[in-house]
Homo-oligomer: A and B are copies of this chain.
Amino acid sequence: SRSYTITLLPGDGIGPEVISVAKSVLSLAASLEQISLQFDEHPVGGAAIDLTGAPLPAETLAAAKRSDAVLLGAIGGYKWDTNEKHLKPETGLLQLRSGLGVFANLRPAVVLPQLVDSSTLKREVAEGVDIMVVRELTGGIYFGSPRGFRKDDKGEDFGFNTEVYSGSEIDRIARIAFEVARKRRGKLCSVDKANVLESSMLWRKRVFAIAAEFPDVELSHMYVDNAAMQLIRDPKQFDTIVTNNIFGDILSDEASMLTGSIGMLPSASVGESGPGLFEPIHGSAPDIAGQDKANPLATVLSAAMLLRYALGEEEAARRIEDAVVATLDMGFRTGDIFSAGTTFVGCKRMGEEVLKSV
């Protein structure tokens, strides 16, 4: 029988609750498919700072690296917000992404028919939206140097960062995006600010060049400000979007909110080789942490992505996704997606209901 090791990183806030549900669902789906899973749990983010003094302990990264895939809950919280940079939970997450080399972040924004009314968009605009944002995750202004603070001779303070991309960094994320688009509806929109930024001019040039390898995919280019508008004006014009780290951060969150149910949205981060990182799109929601209010489905669906993309276990992935749809069809809803006529449940209970359908 197939056997894999999964690193679980619950993290902060609602992280532990949603990971606990996802772990049960993952275990059941795996055992029903004769897959044996080993779980290895480690601290990251604020929890790791409190426990070890570092947001990504060496042991956590080492464990993640030798496992087959990593499932993360969420990181961050008010408690650590004013920490210095090397003691911020976010820094641990960035170190993890970089340490695993997962440069391609896949963020689907899908409006489920059952949840179309959760969107603040008019029904006819939201219905059928199905966008995949491919975000570059280990480069750009998040990691560029020089960065930091300096004073000039007049005593004036400066804070600065460097947005930088190499041609090969762009090529590899572009290839992944073209491949994703090819398996979807064959349309790729590359988003940049090439009318102002040199980093974007190189981006546009290299993406354009890579397009020659994918004659079956239709490529377009859009400025980031226009993309922010078009996502609201007519989100259905988009199939796959590829963009840099910071624009991807902004646009993927914008796209996810179009669905009105970010508590439902998973993500996958993958590299050239080595374990992938799977996490819900939502944050650690410290305001509802520990209250059994969180929606665990984004993490459950991230576990399904893990089975499919990291382990190649399509049947087990399908089991989970079908179970989520069945649970929604039966009317179970956490607070974030609740509407009149549905059954209000907490995080744990939602997990139990999903388990029944796996």
Q: In the assembled complex, which residues on chain B have CB atoms less than 8 Å from the CB atom of A197?
A: 141-142, 147, 159, 161
The stretch among A33-41, A65-73, A198-206, A308-316 that forms the contact with chain B is A198-206
CB-CB contacts below 8 Å: A156-192 with B: 156-168
Q: In the assembled complex, which residues on chain B have CB atoms less than 8 Å from the CB atom of A122?
A: 120-122
**Residue A317 CB within 8 A of the other chain:** no
A167 to B151, CA, bound (A): 10
Pick the residue among B81, B198, B199, B233 that contacts A257 (CB under 8 A). B233
The answer to whether A141 touches B125 (Cβ under 8 A) is no
The answer to whether A160 touches B162 (Cβ under 8 A) is yes
A37 to B162, CA, bound (A): 46
CB-CB contacts below 8 Å: A209-233 with B: 224-226, 228-233
The answer to whether A159 touches B257 (Cβ under 8 A) is no
Pick the residue among B85, B195, B228 that contacts A90 (CB under 8 A). B195
Q: In the assembled complex, which residues on chain B have CB atoms less than 8 Å from the CB atom of A230?
A: 257
The answer to whether B120 touches A85 (Cβ under 8 A) is no
Q: In the assembled complex, which residues on chain B have CB atoms less than 8 Å from the CB atom of A168?
A: 156
Nearest Cβ distance between residue A223 and chain B, in whole angstroms?
A: 9
Q: In the assembled complex, which residues on chain B have CB atoms less than 8 Å from the CB atom of A90?
A: 195-196
A202 to B160, CA, bound (A): 9
Q: In the assembled complex, which residues on chain B have CB atoms less than 8 Å from the CB atom of A224?
A: 249-250
**Residue A323 CB within 8 A of the other chain:** no
A229 to B249, CA, bound (A): 11
The answer to whether B163 touches A141 (Cβ under 8 A) is yes
Nearest Cβ distance between residue A312 and chain B, in whole angstroms?
A: 31
Q: In the assembled complex, which residues on chain B have CB atoms less than 8 Å from the CB atom of A202?
A: 149, 157-159
A-B contact pairs, 27 of them (CB 8 A): A85-B198, A85-B201, A88-B195, A120-B121, A120-B122, A120-B233, A121-B121, A121-B122, A141-B197, A147-B197, A156-B167, A159-B164, A159-B199, A159-B203, A160-B164, A161-B162, A162-B162, A224-B250, A225-B252, A228-B251, A228-B254, A228-B257, A229-B262, A232-B254, A232-B258, A233-B260, A254-B254
Given contacts A94-B196, A147-B198, A159-B203, 5 further A-B contacts (CB under 8 A): A157-B202, A159-B199, A161-B197, A224-B249, A232-B254
